[in-house]
Structure 1
Amino acid sequence: MIKFKITYIFHNCFVLDVGNLSIVFDIPAQRFRMRRTLSALEEAIRGRDVVVFFSHSHLDHFAPDYMEVCGCAKSVKAVLADDIGEMYQNDFFENALVVEPDEKYFFENLKIETLMSNDLGVAFMIETAEGLKIYNGGDLACWDWDNSSEAEQKFAKTFFENAADRISEFGSHIAFSNVERRLESLAGGPLLVEKVQPHIFVPTHALGRTEWLEGLHERLGIKPCRYFNYRRPGDCCTFKVTPSATLFERG
């Protein structure tokens, strides 16, 4: 049985505590951080060993000052998509791993596999030392906008379906994936749930507009006990999973 805690910070930024490690995703730049956002992050990582994953360089997903922001942590390492590496000087990346799409890495006792995003950067498939498997999509999603051509919409859906097949093979216990209320497809959320069948689904990319996430599990086709519903920075929930079985517990 693996026990872990997920804390919502803002937008695509979440903290996942498993064992002695805090895995942090996509801390946003200062322009996207309110005081309560920063406070929630500091409270979640204070005194912890931290590995921060950044999926790409868009500032709603990447904080150039992340070392300063995470200053209250016991230690900080980072995994950064290669487009970030192209934008910043090499000496910026102390204690960091720069990753490319469709590659495998081992870093800080984490097995990491990357997927190419159809937006920018990468998505992550991560396995912890405890055997917990995590998918975090960054901005990989089914971006089938109404104003796109039929060919563009078909490409977006096919690209995301192929990615979902790979994520399904990985066997994610947790899936952090975009939902978009302006899209009938919810940016592929229901498709991902159907193909991957994660123990827990975490909706992302709400840009602070979280009210509409209430009850979204019904449209996603997932039970409420397997859906992390959050409203404000610092909201958290503790879960338990049995990796070798489909049994799901929430505590």
Structure 2
Amino acid sequence: MKIIYLHHSGFIVELERMTLIFDAITNIPPHFLRKGRKNYFFVTHSHQDHFSQKILSYGSDYDTTYIFSDDIPEKGGRDIHYIAPYQKISFPGIEIETFGSTDLGVSFFVQAEGKNIFHSGDLNWWDWDTASHPNINPEVEERDFKAVIQKIEEQIGKHKMDVAFVPVDSRLGGSACRAAEYFIDKLHPKVLIPMHFWEDFSVIRTLADRETGSGTEIPLFEDRNVVIGNY
């Protein structure tokens, strides 16, 4: 399983027989998509830092299926499937289950070719500074995030996550890593890959240093369109 970082929350997961693309908003270099295999595009929600209509253009050149959160306005087309939180959908060789978010849309749990992959979308512990976000209730944000994590733990706890993509949003300051730390503590993914960090790659190192000895690998990377690793 090869993991490629595109930008922000966008990743490619290349398996033996299919490719999974999550929240791609930038042009995908041609060598990262291969013809002659199935390509699944996942979009967690409609925010412009997670969804770009340009991904629909890949459907003309590749064997492509799209799985969109149902908050995205319908685009039509037989290869686009809309899904709400806490639903399931399957295709040959792949099982997809959605969970909630603490913003718009869904988070995805995908099982394919013996691998278990989780993409959080905007499921995050949004612990904003109330001075800059006076309408935020920190207690509610904590409660809502932990409630979704509990549902994930109850539903798929028996399935060890091979890779989880989780936000570490630098705009949250000292709380940037809080969601990822809690995620690791409760769900113990083999590999956790930070995302949603707005070009501040330093926060990846911060999380990795804090989680030394946790049993979860946190790979370090410092650029777009790079192969993070093979798992």
Which TM-score tier does this pair reach, normalised by the shorter chain? 0.7 to 0.9
Distance 1:63 1:165, change over 3 A: same
Distance 1:224 1:159, change over 3 A: closer
State how 1:113-124 maps to structure 2 within 5 Å: 113-124=97-108
Read off the aligned partner of 1:184 and give its amino acid letter.
G
CA drift at 1:103: 1.1
> Are residues 1:83 and 2:71 paired?
yes
CA drift at 1:215: 4.6
2:9 maps to 12
1:158 maps to 146
Calculate the TM-score normalised by the size of structure 1: 0.79
2:94 maps to 110
- Of all paired residues, the percent bearing the same amino acid is 24
Equivalenced residues, count:
222
Q: Which runs of 5+ in 2 are unaligned?
A: 131-135
CA offsets, 1:14-40, max 9 Å, x none?
A: 000111211000012xxxx3xxxx253
CA drift at 1:77: 0.9
Contact 2:12 2:22 survives alignment (8 Å): yes
CA offsets, 1:187-246, max 9 Å, x none?
A: 410010111111111101022332432353122456698222221122113333xxxxxx
Write the distance in 2 (CA, Å) between the matches of 1:192 and 1:140: 11
CA drift at 1:168: 3.4
2:83 maps to 99
SS at structure 1 position matched to 2:174: coil
1:74 maps to 62
Q: Which runs of 5+ in 1 are unaligned?
A: 241-251
Read off the aligned partner of 1:131 and give its amino acid letter.
G
Calculate the TM-score normalised by the size of structure 2: 0.85
1:246 maps to none
CA RMSD of aligned residues (A): 2.4
Distance 1:157 1:138, change over 3 A: closer
Read off the aligned partner of 2:119 and give its amino acid letter.
N
Contact 1:143 1:153 survives alignment (8 Å): yes
CA drift at 1:183: 4.4
2:169 maps to 180
Read off the aligned partner of 2:19 and give its amino acid letter.
S
CA offsets, 1:144-185, max 9 Å, x none?
A: 223133542442443344245245344211111111232434
Contact 2:190 2:215 survives alignment (8 Å): no
Contact 1:189 1:220 survives alignment (8 Å): no
Distance 1:117 1:188, change over 3 A: same
Read off the aligned partner of 1:136 and give its amino acid letter.
H
2:127 maps to 144
Contact 2:11 2:22 survives alignment (8 Å): yes
Write the distance in 2 (CA, Å) between the matches of 1:214 and 1:13: 19
> Are residues 1:218 and 2:215 paired?
no
